[in-house]
Amino acid sequence: MVREAYQDILETEGRVLAEGGSREQAMAAGAKKLSELLAGLGFSSYDEFMWTAIAAEMKTRESRRSEGDTAAAYSPVVSGGSGEADGQGQRDRLVAAYQHCRKLDRQMGNLFSKLDTFSRFGDEIAGKTKFILSLGEEIRLLSINAEVQSAKLGDTGATLSVVAAKLGEHSETGTQTIARLNTHMDEIAPMISDLVFNAIISKLKIEMATCFIGEVLGNTDGDASEDDARDDARLQANIGMLVQSFLGTARDILSALDKLQHSLRLVDQQAGHMDKFIRILSTINLAGKIETARSQSAQAFTTIFEQVQGQTQRAESQIEEFIKLICENTTQLASVDQLDGLDERTFSKLQALVEH
């Protein structure tokens, strides 16, 4: 599939060039063709495709990589070796750094295994956003229609006018709640995407550092020459760079988890307000239906209140599912927070070891 897509893009660019277009125009046509091909596969953008591809590749890789792969290759050499006091001290620091990296590797793997849940949550959030936005607009229009119809009834529609006014008042309150909820939900999807990407990058870098330190330990012997000392210094510097390359991203993950948890709490809070709004709306709607049944001249309201009832019933179901989603993902985040080793203390100890 990738080869065919690449060929289509090349042909598209080739046609533009053959027709006298510039290289820039050919590249723009190729980019447009790529977007069309990805859209046909269900991707809204190239970035979304890349996110999906790298996550799928990492998942396949993890399923094939057993827990003991790194340990089997390097654990025998970690416990061996001897040398002068300084050399042994350096080796001990490398062993400790190796063990910290192994621990982080396992914990990042545990985190990655939970990210599927967050990714699905991001997709589900998008669907709920569309429904909630449309709900606010439809309720607002129905409330306006109800006020218009009550005005036509004059004095005979006084009670229904009060009901219509209450419907309009609460639809305005609901619109504001929906706007706040939508704002918080919009923040979550990119937050999850960044979290997934940082977890993947961190894990790959941690694996690389673990393997490299293991190889260094495996090549260490007891006889140290002046050249060996210079090589050791260079190796130590390289190890430091490898570790520093993932520490920043790993710290970003901790920060992102905290922000995601905060955003989930805000969404949960607004979802609770939405639930309350829907229940009040149902009560107002019931009062309206009772008044409509009492008046022969108010039958025009029947359709309006039936539509409001249909909307509130669908909304109740959606909000219930939404709150359940929030609870599930909050629980997932709590389990991530409990991962032993994925914390600032481990990062600081590891940094101190490689900077020594």
Mean pLDDT (the chain) is: 76
How many residues belong to the chain?
356
Decide if domain 68-355 falls under CATH 1.20.1300.
Answer: no
Res 15: pLDDT? 92
- Residue with structure tokens 């669907």? 127
Round to whole Å and give the CA distance between 247 and 267.
30
Kindly indicate the confidence band of residue 101, based on its pLDDT and cuts at 50, 70 and 90: confident
Round to whole Å and give the CA distance between 98 and 70.
11
Round to whole Å and give the CA distance between 81 and 88.
8
Dihedral angle of Cα 8, 12, 18, 21, to the nearest 10 degrees:
-160
Of the candidates 80, 104, 338, the one whose C-alpha atom is nearest the C-alpha of residue 202 is: 104
pLDDT in tens, 37-85: 888 888 877 877 877 777 777 777 777 765 445 444 444 344 444 444 4
pLDDT in tens, 240-253: 888 888 888 888 88
CB contact set of 319 (below 8 Å; sequence gap of 6+): 271, 274, 275, 278
Round to whole Å and give the CA distance between 240 and 290.
75
What is the number of helices (H) and of strands (E) in the chain? 9, 0
Cα of first residue to Cα of last residue in the chain, in angstroms, is 50
CA triplet 233, 238, 240: central angle to 5 degrees?
95
Cβ atoms 17, 46 nearer than 8 A:
no
Count other C-beta atoms under 10 Å from residue 181's C-beta: 24
The rounded percent of the chain whose pLDDT value lies above 70 is 78
Of the candidates 138, 136, 132, the one whose C-alpha atom is nearest the C-alpha of residue 267 is: 132
CA triplet 183, 188, 191: central angle to 5 degrees?
130
User: What is the CA 234 to chain-centroid distance, rounded?
Assistant: 39
Q: Which of 29-43, 193-207, 308-322 has the lowest mean pLDDT?
A: 308-322
User: What is the CA 228 to chain-centroid distance, rounded?
Assistant: 47
